[in-house]
Chains A and B, each alone.
Chain A
């Protein structure tokens, strides 16, 4: 009898594992992000079925995503229902700002996590009573690296940079610019005071993603914001 498991076979090989639990090689060839991608596909289907325009806003910290959202909510409500999922490592501050601006918001605190994933967004959607025809903004954690890999099921991805950053951001963080559909260049009111070269930034980004669209705007002064609202309304 095998001393290891008590079965009737003798363990004459001196190796229990060889005699009746043969090793089995299983070829998978499956993406490590396959589970996230599966959940993202469920989110996407749900957004489509409920006629919700879902946008994933990504940027580095401090580019002005939340201010852009505040001004967008003020301008588009009441003609359009807007809902927001806010992702930050800590605090409810951004969700409070969004609610004050007039849109229902859910804050996801990722703790030590550096990005939102499809599961977090799916769970948040259970709590937000979104309505057909509404816009859902998903404000990702401020980080130009990690959120690039995680599909949330959004219709389009919007990357925000500001003119106080280097115009070489697209070259330094190519994955984010590659995976985005629209690039907002914010804080244009500061252009006279900084060395940011808009044309250069656009050409760098287009070298990575030729189809990327751009809008230069200032959430503070309002310059260019109408172009952004028009873009939103064109999406459906």
Chain B
């Protein structure tokens, strides 16, 4: 259940950014979670809801955007959407593919006041 630790990392990151920008409140935080990032998005969201209490994020709107996995087949060059790291190419059934998207796990932006 590393999603809990990751949620705490978000709170610490938000706290640092709030201080750096001399902001009193963070009104909104926007986070991207890639489908191939190794983070279970629902568990992460639940953990985040728990840990923001009593933090700089307690009033924030939390926007979590999932980013679909993208791969390029090494055999036939087809680019296709990947749901798991081990997905085979839908055209030629080759494996593995070069992952070109969906590994994101980042804070995109915050809105401060």
Contacts and interface: CB of A to CB of B under 8 A. Distances in A.
B89 interface: no
A114 interface: yes
Interface in B1-52: 1-2, 4-6, 9-10, 12-13, 16-17, 21, 23-24, 27, 31, 38-39
Given A114-B1, A114-B2, A174 B85 contact: yes
B106 A32 contact: yes
Given A28-B107, A32-B13, A115-B2, A148 B38 contact: yes
Provide the main secondary structure of the chain B interface: mixed
B63 interface: no
Chain A contact residues, majority secondary structure: mixed
B80 interface: no
Interface size class of B (residues with CB under 8 A): 20 to 34
A210 to B, nearest CB: 8
Given A24-B112, A114-B2, A115-B2, A32 B85 contact: no
A175 B10 CA distance: 21
B76 interface: no
B112 A28 contact: no
A30 B107 contact: yes
A113 B47 CA distance: 13
Nearest to B108: A29
Given A32-B31, A35-B13, A207-B96, A115 B108 contact: no
B113 interface: yes
Contacts of B86: 171, 174, 207-208
Contacts of B1: 114, 146
B30 to A, nearest CB: 9
A26 B5 CA distance: 24
B9 A23 contact: no
Interface of B: 1-2, 4-6, 9-10, 12-13, 16-17, 21, 23-24, 27, 31, 38-39, 85-86, 95-96, 105-113
Interface of A: 17, 21-36, 112-115, 117, 145-146, 148-150, 171, 174-175, 178, 207-208
13 contacts: A24-B21, A24-B112, A28-B108, A29-B107, A29-B108, A31-B106, A32-B6, A32-B9, A33-B9, A114-B5, A115-B2, A145-B2, A149-B38
